[in-house]
């Protein structure tokens, strides 16, 4: 049995690994010529921006590739305690900080993908065919039998196809050519812009944090930023701005934007830091979900994964983690496969539950901006936002509430877990005095 995975990004590589125990061969078809090592390539322009791998994502990747975290560290990633060593300026102020087992592996997206690629492509069942663009599918409305490539007449035969071609996936068009009806979809776009660049970490950096995150907060804080350490003693800094506040590529604007943030913590840190890269911007940050699980007449052997099925506003850093959770689900569905059932439909129904967590939190947050496309927020969403703002206020004083917030942020617990009685009580009757662990030096 041969599986063909379209796209060799994070979702494609993880899907290939997930399939190795269940098929005879996996062919990964990637449009870019894949580099040796962590080199920028045109198919993943987002690699120039900060990529945080959440605890959930790391856990899922470790299931598929045990030792991945150790490989990342060996390649130069910086490990730190997310809750103790990250200063988070939430809508109400600095979140409480305290030791926890939540680890973050500070690394560029290029390094993460390169470590992943090195692991996956050495598997004896995996063939990575790079520099080849997929142009269509062969088959009918019930079964895909192959994949058409650019400038080649002979398709690649496939028993199972996984679309992991990312945000720009053309699978809907390819399926329409086979006669499949369109897949329902939703778009929620807060029009967030990114501008990113890397800096050398100065020797004189004395702040008591390793990473700093100034969150966007509707409706009064349309500017935010993240600074985090990555391999090579570097910081990556991504500026975040909503609509008219989207940061630009202009040299002088970068530091002016940083100085306009509601806290000077990042501006102080950058005072003596040397920029190492040009400024790179993107506006491609909208949430878009394809409800494949609700589609009629989809091929039973076509799986869609990662950004190809749902892309999420990256300020919540959930894309790689939901892709990884989808890949481990794929392995699970292969293990528990029953003859005569619709494999793809079963997979997509279960994937929808994973996607729901991420989609609910990103879209609820994004819909709190009055300018968001896909709105307005429903009364229930407005209520959730108001309650979440109270939770953030409580999280500046209570380590327990901050921990509950971080668990949701890291996709370890669903958003509804913030309604647990212990969190509700602390939120509505917050402690009178801030704990010493919340102290912050910028």
Using CA atoms, how far apart are residues 20 and 11, in angstroms rounded to an integer? 15
Q: By CB under 6 A, is residue 162 in contact with ligand FAD?
A: no
Among 3, 4, 5, 6, contact with ligand FAD (rule: CB under 6 A): 6
Q: By CB under 6 A, is residue 215 in contact with ligand FAD?
A: no
Q: Which distant-in-sequence residues (6+ apart) come within 8 Å of 351 by Cβ?
A: 292, 293, 305, 309, 326, 329
Among 3, 5, 9, 38, contact with ligand FAD (rule: CB under 6 A): 9
Binding mask 421-440 for ligand FAD (x = CB under 6 A): --------------------
Binding mask 325-344 for ligand FAD (x = CB under 6 A): --------------------
Using CA atoms, how far apart are residues 28 and 119, in angstroms rounded to an integer? 14
Q: By CB under 6 A, is residue 299 in contact with ligand FAD?
A: no
Among 30, 163, 293, 366, contact with ligand FAD (rule: CB under 6 A): 30
Token pair 């390793």: residue: 210
The first and second tokens of residue 41, run together, are 């390539």
Name the residue among 230, 235, 312 with its Cα closest to residue 268.
235
| 1, 131, 137, 382 from 423: Cα distances, Å | 50, 51, 49, 19
Number of residues in contact with ligand FAD under rule CB under 6 A: 38
Name the residue among 297, 314, 175 with its Cα closest to residue 240.
314
Among 68, 80, 194, 235, contact with ligand FAD (rule: CB under 6 A): 194
Piece in contact with ligand FAD (CB under 6 A), picked from 30-38, 153-161, 181-189, 215-223: 30-38
Of 29 and 364, CB closest to ligand FAD: 29
Q: By CB under 6 A, is residue 247 in contact with ligand FAD?
A: no
Sheet holding 144-149, edge to edge: 134-139, 144-149, 156-157
Name the residue among 156, 195, 362, 407 with its Cα closest to residue 280.
195
Piece in contact with ligand FAD (CB under 6 A), picked from 58-66, 277-285, 286-294, 406-414: 277-285
Smallest separation (angstroms) from ligand FAD to the CB of 32: 5
Q: Which long-range contacts link 244-253 to residues 24+ away (Cβ below 8 Å)?
A: 245/193, 246/191, 246/192, 246/193, 246/281, 246/283, 247/193, 247/194, 247/195, 247/281, 248/195, 248/281, 249/195, 249/278, 249/279, 249/280, 249/281, 250/279, 251/279, 253/195
Q: By CB under 6 A, is residue 11 in contact with ligand FAD?
A: yes
Dihedral-angle region of residue 82 (phi above 0 means left; psi in -120 to 50 means alpha; beta otherwise): alpha
Piece in contact with ligand FAD (CB under 6 A), picked from 10-18, 294-302, 358-366, 413-421: 10-18
Of 222 and 399, CB closest to ligand FAD: 222
Among 302, 317, 384, 411, contact with ligand FAD (rule: CB under 6 A): 317
Smallest separation (angstroms) from ligand FAD to the CB of 339: 30
Q: By CB under 6 A, is residue 7 in contact with ligand FAD?
A: yes
Name the residue among 293, 409, 275 with its Cα closest to residue 350.
293
Using CA atoms, how far apart are residues 238 and 80, in angstroms rounded to an integer? 19
Among 46, 301, 372, 402, contact with ligand FAD (rule: CB under 6 A): 46
The first and second tokens of residue 391, run together, are 């939770």
Of 323 and 391, CB closest to ligand FAD: 323
Q: By CB under 6 A, is residue 118 in contact with ligand FAD?
A: no
Smallest separation (angstroms) from ligand FAD to the CB of 325: 11
The first and second tokens of residue 356, run together, are 């729901």
Of 261 and 309, CB closest to ligand FAD: 309
The first and second tokens of residue 100, run together, are 């926890």
Q: By CB under 6 A, is residue 323 in contact with ligand FAD?
A: yes
What residues line the site for ligand FAD (CB under 6 A)?
Answer: 6-12, 29-32, 43-44, 46, 49-52, 133-134, 164-167, 194, 282, 284-285, 306-308, 314, 317-321, 323
């Amino acid at each position: 049995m041969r599986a063909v995975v379209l796209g060799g990004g994070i979702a494609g590589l993880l899907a290939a690994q997930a399939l190795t125990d269940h098929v005879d061969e996996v062919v990964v078809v990637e449009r870019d010529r894949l580099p040796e090592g962590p080199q920028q390539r045109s198919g993943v322009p987002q690699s120039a921006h900060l990529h945080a791998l959440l605890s959930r994502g790391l856990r899922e990747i470790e299931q598929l590739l045990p030792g991945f975290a150790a490989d990342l560290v060996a390649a130069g990633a910086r490990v730190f305690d997310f809750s103790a060593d990250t200063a988070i300026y939430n809508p109400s102020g600095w979140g409480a900080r305290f030791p926890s087992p939540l680890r973050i592996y500070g690394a560029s997206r290029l390094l993460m993908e390169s470590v992943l690629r090195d692991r996956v492509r050495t598997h004896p069942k995996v063939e990575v065919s790079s520099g080849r663009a997929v142009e269509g599918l062969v088959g009918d409305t019930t079964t895909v039998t192959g994949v058409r490539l650019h400038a080649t007449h002979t398709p690649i035969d496939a028993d199972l196809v996984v679309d992991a071609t990312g945000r720009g996936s053309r699978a809907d068009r390819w399926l329409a050519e086979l006669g499949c009806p369109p897949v329902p979809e939703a778009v929620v776009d807060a029009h967030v812009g990114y501008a990113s660049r890397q800096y050398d970490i100065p020797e004189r950096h004395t702040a008591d944090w390793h990473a700093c995150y100034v969150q966007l907060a509707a409706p009064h804080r349309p500017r935010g930023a993240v600074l985090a350490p990555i391999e090579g003693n570097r910081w990556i800094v991504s500026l975040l701005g909503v609509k008219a506040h989207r940061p630009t590529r202009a040299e002088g604007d970068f530091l002016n934007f940083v100085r306009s943030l509601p806290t000077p913590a990042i501006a102080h840190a950058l005072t003596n830091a040397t920029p190492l890269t040009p400024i790179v911007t993107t506006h491609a940050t909208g949430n878009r979900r394809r409800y494949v699980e609700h589609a009629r007449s989809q091929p039973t052997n076509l799986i869609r994964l990662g950004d190809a099925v749902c892309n999420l506003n990256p300020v919540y850093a959930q894309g790689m983690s939901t892709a990884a959770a989808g890949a481990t689900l794929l392995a699970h569905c292969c293990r528990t496969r029953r003859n005569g059932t619709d494999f793809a439909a079963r997979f997509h129904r279960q994937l929808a539950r994973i996607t729901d967590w991420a989609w609910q939190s990103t879209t609820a947050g994004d819909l709190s901006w009055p300018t968001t496309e896909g709105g307005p927020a429903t009364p229930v969403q407005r209520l959730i936002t108001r309650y979440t703002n109270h939770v953030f206020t409580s999280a500046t004083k209570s380590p327990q509430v901050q921990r509950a917030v971080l668990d949701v942020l890291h996709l370890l617990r669903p958003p509804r877990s913030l309604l647990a009685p212990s969190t509700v009580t602390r939120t509505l009757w917050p402690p009178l005095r801030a704990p010493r662990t919340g102290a912050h030096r910028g």
